[in-house]
């Protein structure tokens, strides 16, 4: 049996007729940049997250960067970000001219440790970016309380958390805005790249519309400095089709997570992901921990099981951030996780037999020599 980490071909084939028709319509209408297909998706995506406005852009990184530009984050400012995140989060801060200030993560849920945020706040701090890593919301009530007490902006990085919920409320509108990625491997993925910002702030919305379109208020009238961050019409049409299936696909992912837990609950050599109370985890990734990560990954690969590591090198230790002078040991939880985490196959295309096979192989690996599972 071959178990793919994610099977985008199978996903396409499951909705092929609708996707093909959507693409054909874009070609016939020559609606290649922004336009009605993007607008249709924006309206539906905003409604899905109980937001008033949505601005489609061409990547999740663009969503974050455009947001920081619109909020007038500049050189000399500091933005608090989790040390345990994808590189695009701090990169967007750097692109804005500001400095990312990293905070370690909590060991149980992988998100930013709310108890360590206040120690990172200085007179230069302007915002906190709360990342909902792997599909699990960060502790938004506590983060928002800190942001409010220190008069800081709260920006949600929802790149991996489409329709995730915190205390029965969809992520993305707890702060000034929520930034999403539609990279092809995401729970809601384009055929290539895509992103969006949702907000209830009309002033921010109007400014984002200009920033994504080279700073134009109307054609050839450039009121502010912007970028070419427009979403392609083709991606808008594709995402419009896929959005109809997001609820169903999300429930399948959650069911698959439950199956992994069922089959692996008594394997003491691994730590299964924890899920906070009163949240809806959407399982963009199913990440386990083990001290024999590399050996396990090699064994699974030899048994035709694809896995991933999200992420093997923490952001603060990346060469690009040498100038910030962070060292090994600054964020011990994040650094330890980078050596222990492994992402198992997870998608709505994954079936029970495949999950059982993956679980059996994990148990087989740890049961050799000394029996540790079961």
Is 171 domain-assigned?
yes
- Domain co-membership, 124 together with 136: yes
Domain boundary among 243, 266, 298: 243
Residue whose entry in the numeric block shows the structure tokens 């509108």: 173
Contact 219, 235 (CB under 8 A): no
- Domain co-membership, 350 together with 314: yes
- Domain co-membership, 300 together with 207: no
- Domain co-membership, 174 together with 263: no
Position 34 confidence tier, pLDDT thresholds 50, 70, 90 = confident
Domain boundary among 192, 225, 243: 243
Is 374 domain-assigned?
no
Is 3 domain-assigned?
no
- Domain co-membership, 207 together with 305: no
Q: Which tokens in the block code for residue 179? A: 């930034």
- Domain co-membership, 236 together with 251: no
Is 372 domain-assigned?
no
Domain count, the chain: 2
Q: Read off the pLDDT of residues 279-335 as tens digits, 9 standing for 90 and up.
A: 999 999 999 999 999 999 999 999 999 999 999 999 999 999 999 999 999 999 999
Is 265 domain-assigned?
yes
Q: How far apart are CA 121 and CA 203, in angstroms?
A: 27
At residue 370, the pLDDT reads 47
At residue 371, the pLDDT reads 47
Domain boundary among 226, 243, 260: 243
Q: How far apart are CA 46 and CA 197, in angstroms?
A: 9
Position 369 confidence tier, pLDDT thresholds 50, 70, 90 = very low
Closest C-alpha to 339, from 131, 84, 4: 84
N-to-C CA span, the chain? 23
CATH number of the domain enclosing 97: 3.40.640.10
- Domain co-membership, 200 together with 308: no
- Domain co-membership, 169 together with 287: no
Q: How far apart are CA 121 and CA 180, in angstroms?
A: 25
CATH number of the domain enclosing 322: 3.90.1150.10
Q: Are strands 195-199 and 177-181 parallel, antiparallel or unpaired?
A: antiparallel
- Rounded (5°) CA angle 267-269-270: 80
- Domain co-membership, 234 together with 308: no
- Domain co-membership, 215 together with 256: no
- Domain co-membership, 46 together with 184: yes
Is 148 domain-assigned?
yes
- Is the predicted pLDDT of residue 7 greater than 90, yes or no? yes
- Domain co-membership, 230 together with 252: no
Is 373 domain-assigned?
no
Q: Read off the pLDDT of residues 119-160 as tens digits, 9 standing for 90 and up.
A: 999 999 999 999 999 999 999 999 999 999 999 999 999 999
At residue 374, the pLDDT reads 59
- Rounded (5°) CA angle 322-110-94: 30
Is 27 domain-assigned?
yes
Q: What is the mean pLDDT of the segment spanning 259-272? A: 97
Closest C-alpha to 308, from 108, 134, 182, 188: 134
- Rounded (5°) CA angle 85-90-92: 125
Whole-structure pTM value: 0.97
Q: Find the domain containing 338 and state its range.
A: 246-367
């Amino acid at each position: 049996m071959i178990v793919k980490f994610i099977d985008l071909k199978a996903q396409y084939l499951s909705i092929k007729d609708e996707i093909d028709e959507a693409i054909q319509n874009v070609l016939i209408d020559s609606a290649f940049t922004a336009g009605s297909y993007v607008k249709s998706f924006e309206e539906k995506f905003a409604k899905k997250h109980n937001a008033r406005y949505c601005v489609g852009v061409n990547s999740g990184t663009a969503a974050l960067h455009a947001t920081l530009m619109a909020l007038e984050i500049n050189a000399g400012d500091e933005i608090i970000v989790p040390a345990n995140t994808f590189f695009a989060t701090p990169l967007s801060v750097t692109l804005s001219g500001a400095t990312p200030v990293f905070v370690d993560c909590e060991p149980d849920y992988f998100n930013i440790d709310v108890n360590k945020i206040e120690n990172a706040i200085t007179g230069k701090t302007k915002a906190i970016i709360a990342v909902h890593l792997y599909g699990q919301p960060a502790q938004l009530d506590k983060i928002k309380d800190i942001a409010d007490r220190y008069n800081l902006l709260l920006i949600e990085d929802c790149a991996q958390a489409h329709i995730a919920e915190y205390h029965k409320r969809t992520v993305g509108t707890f702060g000034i805005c929520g930034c999403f990625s539609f990279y092809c491997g995401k729970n809601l993925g384009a055929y290539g790249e895509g992103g969006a910002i949702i907000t209830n702030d009309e002033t921010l919305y109007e400014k984002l519309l200009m920033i994504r379109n080279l700073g134009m208020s109307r054609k050839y009238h450039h009121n502010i400095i912007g970028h070419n961050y427009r979403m392609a019409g083709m991606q808008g049409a594709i995402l419009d089709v896929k959005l109809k299936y997001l609820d169903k696909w999300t429930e399948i992912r959650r069911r698959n997570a439950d199956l992994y837990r069922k089959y692996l609950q008594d394997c003491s050599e691994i730590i299964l992901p924890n899920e906070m109370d009163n949240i809806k985890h959407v399982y963009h990734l199913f990440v386990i921990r083990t001290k024999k990560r590399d050996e396990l990954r090699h064994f699974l690969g030899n048994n035709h099981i694809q896995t991933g590591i999200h992420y093997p090198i923490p952001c603060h230790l990346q060469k690009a951030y040498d100038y910030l002078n962070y060292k090994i040991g600054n964020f011990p939880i994040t650094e330890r996780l980078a050596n222990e985490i492994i992402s198992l196959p997870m998608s709505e295309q994954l079936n029970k037999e495949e999950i059982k096979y993956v679980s059996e192989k994990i148990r087989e690996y740890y049961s050799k020599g000394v029996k540790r599972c079961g």
